[in-house]
């Protein structure tokens, strides 16, 4: 009997050839430096505009010191899920710290944003229920909707009116609306106030993924819900530890009852080995910095406004809504070529292609950080001008 290996290998080779022909094959490029405004990739030293490290905390000395201290006390791994023997004091401390930060009754930790979104939705809804999802929601929310086995209703991007009509027209035992607050590929924000009103009018729960807003938006950095004063009107707010907070993991801020239910129902929580204690300590330190040092956000938003103005001078559409700026080029080959030319100019700006974004919208995705200098921002704008990206219309 033949082994399965050569058969699967043939499948893989066939699929890789098809991906390559479409310009959609991915490759890994390991950094040989910490995350930061400048990184080392092989022999190249590049200005990094592709990281979600919005506040520059991934390599923060204070955050690293907190991780090292916990590493020495608690070791590397946790050995089990939190429901067995993997629950440690730093997990409990971080959940309590995040609950204060989010001004929520309770917080539940997850190992990643993907684990959170694919665990929370199936824990709350199932057959006989309906989930209403923005058309441009992150893949983790899309997969969470599918795994829930509830009816999935996709409403047009950021269209609160269409959502309200769908809520009115869809019979279901329970109705749950899910949306990103900041959309990761376009950098725009959800019409959150209108979504809240639609949910309240139709008895629906609302879950907001704040992954790209945590640390960036709001007077204390708690996200779009805080910025709009809607914390008490949103049922679940998912935040991440891996972007502006510089580490790894995610959490959901919610009621005590929902948090307790997730301990028994959220499969990624129940069946995953717990986050290392060192990462929990690092995240707690990062939350302190975010909440008590507004200069980090002020610096980031200074860059956002500077970059917005510069893109407009180049004839590119831009709004100061978040730290994410797409430059849409159309076909994958065009985006890959632009990324290559920017790299030759010393900038690391990754091309984003389908299926991450819709067909025909391949793009460069610039992510700004408080770690950047104004010189970095100006160099990026000059590089865009020199490579001719300014002539491309989105």
305: annotated active-site residue? no
Measured between alpha carbons, how far is 256 from 240 in angstroms, rounded to an integer? Answer: 19
**Is the distance from CB of 311 to CB of 49 less than 8 angstroms?**
no
φ, ψ dihedrals at 140, nearest 5°: -65, -35
Out of 91, 138, 175, 243, the active site residue is 243
The yes-or-no answer on residue 157 being catalytic is no
Backbone angles phi, psi at 38, to 5 degrees: -125, 135
Nearest CA among 169, 183, 177 for reference residue 139: 183
3 is catalytic: no
Please state, in angstroms and rounded to a whole number, the distance separating the CA atoms of residues 59 and 177.
36
Residue 82 gets which letter from DSSP? Answer: I
Instruction: Considering the candidates 212, 303, 350, 372, report the single residue annotated as catalytic.
Output: 212
Nearest CA to 56 out of 244, 238, 305, 184 is that of 244
What are the CA-CA distances from residue 23 to residues 78, 132, 284, 331, 387 (Å)? 41, 33, 41, 9, 21
How far is 389 from 387, CA to CA, in rounded Å? 6
DSSP for 135-189 reads TT--HHHHHHHHHHTSEEEEEPTT-HHHHHHHHHH---SSEEEEEESB-TTT--B
Give alpha helix (H) positions in the chain: 4-21, 61-74, 89-102, 113-124, 139-148, 160-169, 192-202, 224-227, 256-265, 267-270, 277-292, 295-313, 332-344, 374-387
Catalytic sites, residue numbers = 184, 212, 243
């Amino acid at each position: 009997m033949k082994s399965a290996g050569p058969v699967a290998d043939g499948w893989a080779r066939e699929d890789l050839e098809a991906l390559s022909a479409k310009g959609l094959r991915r490759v890994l490029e390991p950094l040989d430096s910490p995350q930061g405004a400048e990184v080392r990739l092989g022999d190249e030293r590049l200005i990094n505009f592709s990281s979600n490290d919005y506040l520059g905390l991934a390599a923060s000395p204070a955050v690293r010191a907190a991780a090292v201290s916990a590493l020495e006390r608690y070791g590397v791994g946790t050995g089990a899920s939190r429901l067995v023997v993997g629950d440690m004091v730093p997990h409990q401390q971080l959940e309590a710290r995040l609950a204060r930060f989010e001004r929520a009754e309770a917080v539940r930790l997850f190992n990643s944003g993907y684990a959170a979104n694919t665990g929370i939705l199936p824990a709350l809804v199932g057959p006989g229920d309906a989930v209403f999802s923005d058309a441009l929601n992150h893949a983790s929310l899309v997969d969470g909707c599918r795994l829930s086995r509830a009816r999935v209703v996709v409403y047009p991007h950021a269209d609160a009116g269409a959502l309200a009509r769908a809520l009115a027209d869809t019979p279901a035992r329970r109705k749950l609306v899910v949306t990103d607050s900041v959309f990761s590929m376009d950098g725009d924000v959800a019409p959150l106030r209108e979504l809240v009103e639609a949910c309240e009018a139709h008895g629906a729960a609302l879950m907001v993924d704040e992954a790209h807003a945590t640390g960036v938006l709001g007077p204390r950095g708690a996200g779009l819900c805080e910025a709009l004063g809607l914390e008490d009107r949103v049922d679940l707010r998912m935040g991440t530890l891996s972007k502006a907070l510089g580490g790894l993991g995610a959490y959901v801020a919610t009621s005590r009852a929902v948090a307790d239910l997730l301990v028994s129902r959220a499969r990624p929580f129940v069946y995953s080995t717990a986050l290392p204690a060192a990462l929990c300590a690092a995240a707690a330190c990062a939350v302190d910095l975010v909440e008590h040092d507004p200069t980090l956000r002020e610096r980031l938003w200074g860059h956002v406004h500077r970059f917005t103005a510069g893109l407009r001078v180049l004839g590119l559409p831009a709004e100061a809504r978040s730290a994410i700026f797409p430059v849409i080029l159309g076909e994958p080959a065009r985006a890959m070529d632009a990324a290559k030319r920017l790299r030759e100019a010393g900038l690391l700006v990754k091309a984003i292609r389908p299926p991450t974004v819709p067909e025909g919208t391949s793009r460069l995705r610039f992510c700004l950080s408080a770690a950047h200098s104004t010189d970095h921002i100006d160099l990026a704008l000059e590089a865009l001008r020199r490579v001719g990206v300014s002539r491309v219309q989105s």
